[in-house]
Structure 1
């Protein structure tokens, strides 16, 4: 049977297999060779002990399009390591962390990997971003600013010691559509150069940012918001109020807003009341900055909402959630992660289920005291669910799994990790009888041999 399959057919099969199916490479040398040739994406964690073998390893994967490399300290991005990465000439996506990258290394990569469309790196201070011009195909850029500082000339000379001549006054626009910045401070003067040239940004992510640069950075930043469709703000309390106000005034195309770990109660309220954008997705992790008044404003002004994700929002009560569910009948996704209102108000989930019958994705993870009765009371009304996550809900048992089988016949993805009351027998029953299941996340100790057999027969992926 093995010899009757052509190499091309085997490679196509391998490409369609989930990443957890690497066991096929153990069948024989031929399968190992074809499996490596079929891989287009790799994620590696590199330590000093593995460094010498990287060259040989990469040479066995000639068609890599995406490479993510995480270095364990004290390993650094040496010229030799950069040259090994550059040898993967088909790369379109590259992620390097957490070691800071020098300018000479960036220029080397831009020469050898001209087709890169996605780049994720760490940079030292001071901040110079003019090198971005050297990557003409770049669409997505992620930069983490390190606390490490290097001498000025470490950035601005190449391997031959020649100075790099970048045109500071060039008005050339960049093709970036997605930008992520981590750790920007108010005194980082180099960021303004980037804001000034980002005229096509559709997705912006800011994390742990105390500012957005100095000088003319703010006015340039505001211009970037005009065509923005998605924005994520995590741990940016010092700048979030100003950004929300600018979104109200200058952004009419926003459809997704994420705010985690630090918000502005007043700024968020003003945004919800005055925003002219048709925002369809809200994702908040705001223990002390989100209340019922925000949800009620959301219900009044965003009736086209399709996704609402709340995590650790302890000030929210059933009043606000019922207001949203009553006004937004077409909600597609709801997440109440570690929100004690789920445990605090009996009957709330039943009411939400009756009002949100079109729900396709439900996440109730990390509500440790959630009981079978409350969960089931919602599931009986959610016949259209394809994705259900109850990770860390330690009060649930096999009774909930049985209800999932009866009421949610379209389930494709389920997460029941750390649900101590759900045993291996319940998992086996679910895998055997859920006709639409494609992926289940559960502890390996709860996956019996019979469950694995049924999973293999029905092409179900186990994530353990």
Structure 2
């Protein structure tokens, strides 16, 4: 019947997807990966536009978008998070505009503001008193302790607060008195970062532990007056503490027996970060013996301990999922082989700048850690050894691999990685100088799910010959390659869904090659042409790029420096150029 009606022209043909209820489409659209995907979907029909508007929960405000803020806030009525860290200027007017709209806001990021006046912030507080998260990193708090009091009074329901890395002002200091007043009001506080507030002492940790019964995470790197004794008090008085970061603490301020003893009082610690600090085996032994559910251990650039301390923790805490051993340069392949036996739950490891580690360690990780998803082995010694290839096993869980600046890494090594990691999605082999185009094309063929590829500085890539499609590739970082127009366009023609393209200092490219790239990439959103000296950087060419590829949101021209006329051009078209 419907078919007869369509033939007579009495009933318009209705796409089958329009019959689905809006709730079904909302569930689908909420699973999209990015804001960019929502923008694309919103252009399909009015129904999708409405659903995508209500599905969007995050908004970043810049100087370009600020003049249109009112219309944006009307359009996106379900915003829970607003981010002003890229906004330069007086944020008070922006905050006052935000306060005019009945949004379900629970997170506000005001980082990187030179000066923050509290009239706008108080207005936001009066309208969004239930705000849970406030980020004020790298902000000029001119009132010092008084500003902390204003924050607490304006947002009494805060659960997470970041006041790290304050801008220096001799007349405005955050001290223990300010933390005391703040914590006395914010009874729901569960996470706080006070890093860089160098006038805070152990007393701040004591009052936080006493006044905030739900406190679960504290970070205080760069607080020179805080010692291991203060950290011990925090651990003892806060049994529910889940995350502790003792970053950048020197031997003379951390070396206290009270800290060693404190871990036996801990019950909920899941994450410990000792990065850039001096620690010792006795401290690690106390962590090992503590009855804590440790899942994450970070020892990046840490000094004073040995392999014995690490091994003890691995034996006692086999449920660890996240390890960071960056620049723990005494580690050897043999050490890692012993550690790997106890890492059956590991999902992420970073062992960059460990110069003794080779392909043997990589093979062991693949074989002995079945749940491993991400590996970072930058500036190690991959390719230096003659690892036994009979140890190669397939690990389908690994999707992230960053191994840049391994100068001995070869195409053959890359081939072995492709065999081990068929589901790889992110690969960074930048500055692995022995890799050629054959190695890159081989890994792309064996790992068709790669979405993000970094091949910066590969001097031996003279060509990238592929005879297959790359439908998943979205981001290509190809800085400083020697590809010419024909070679680049031949490769890009296989990457129809490319969104981000970085071609910094690709000096063999010309305007003609870039034109072909822009025409071929239907979804291109960002292109960086800085120091591509043979590519035009005048406004007519940039205007042509935008007209041919309206999906573009960011263009970095070859000149690097952007004139005021060019800034106006970018502003008028809603483009970023940095």
Offset at residue 248 of structure 1 (A): 1.4
Equivalent residue number for residue 414 of structure 1: 475
Contact 1:186 1:213 in 2 (8 A): no
Cα distance in 2, alignment partners of residues 17 and 171 from structure 1 = 34
For the pair 1:350 / 2:415, whether they are aligned, the reply is: yes
Cα distance in 1, alignment partners of residues 465 and 101 from structure 2 = 42
Cα distance in 1, alignment partners of residues 324 and 100 from structure 2 = 41
Q: TM-score, structure 1 length as denominator?
A: 0.73
For the pair 1:312 / 2:353, whether they are aligned, the reply is: yes
Which of 446, 449, 452 is the equivalent residue of 1:388? Answer: 452
Deviations 1:146-175 (A, max 9, x none): 33589x9xx9xxxxxxxxxx9969967621
Equivalent residue number for residue 318 of structure 2: 277
User: Per residue, is there more strand in 1 or in 2?
Assistant: 1
Which of 523, 526, 547 is the equivalent residue of 1:454? Answer: 523
Give the alignment's Cα RMSD to 1 decimal. Answer: 4.8
CA 1:350–1:386 in 2, change beyond 3 Å: closer, same or farther?
Answer: closer
Secondary structure at the counterpart of residue 108 of structure 1: helix
Cα distance in 2, alignment partners of residues 271 and 441 from structure 1 = 45
Cα distance in 2, alignment partners of residues 415 and 267 from structure 1 = 42
Equivalent residue number for residue 147 of structure 1: 198
Higher relative contact order (CA 8 A, sep 6+): 1
Cα distance in 1, alignment partners of residues 85 and 352 from structure 2 = 31
Moved more, 418-427 or 370-379: 418-427
Equivalent residue number for residue 178 of structure 1: 217
Deviations 1:15-74 (A, max 9, x none): 278859998888x89844525756531123576x6366455454466634322223566x
Alignment map for 1:204-215 (pairs within 5 Å): 204-210=244-250, 211=253
Equivalent residue number for residue 187 of structure 2: 136
Task: Structure 1: give runs of 5+ residues left out of the alignment.
Answer: 156-165
Task: Structure 2: give runs of 5+ residues left out of the alignment.
Answer: 1-41, 167-172, 383-405, 506-513, 526-548, 557-578
Offset at residue 144 of structure 1 (A): 0.8
For the pair 1:292 / 2:333, whether they are aligned, the reply is: yes
Offset at residue 113 of structure 1 (A): 0.9
For the pair 1:120 / 2:162, whether they are aligned, the reply is: yes
Equivalent residue number for residue 161 of structure 1: none
Contact 1:68 1:94 in 2 (8 A): yes
For the pair 1:326 / 2:367, whether they are aligned, the reply is: yes
Cα distance in 1, alignment partners of residues 331 and 98 from structure 2 = 48
Offset at residue 318 of structure 1 (A): 1.9
CA 1:119–1:23 in 2, change beyond 3 Å: closer, same or farther?
Answer: same
Equivalent residue number for residue 95 of structure 1: 135
Contact 1:440 1:460 in 2 (8 A): no
For the pair 1:195 / 2:200, whether they are aligned, the reply is: no
Question: When the two structures are aligned, how many residues end up with a matched partner?
Answer: 439
CA 1:278–1:56 in 2, change beyond 3 Å: closer, same or farther?
Answer: closer
Which of 68, 80, 84 is the equivalent residue of 1:43? Answer: 84
Cα distance in 1, alignment partners of residues 208 and 59 from structure 2 = 48
Contact 2:66 2:94 in 1 (8 A): no
Q: Rg: which structure is higher?
A: 2
Moved more, 446-455 or 346-355: 446-455
Alignment map for 1:12-51 (pairs within 5 Å): 12=53, 15=56, 31-32=71-72, 34-35=74-75, 39=79, 40-44=81-85, 50=90
Deviations 1:297-346 (A, max 9, x none): 23222234332333233221222222222333553222333435243143
Q: TM-score, structure 2 length as denominator?
A: 0.60
For the pair 1:371 / 2:443, whether they are aligned, the reply is: no
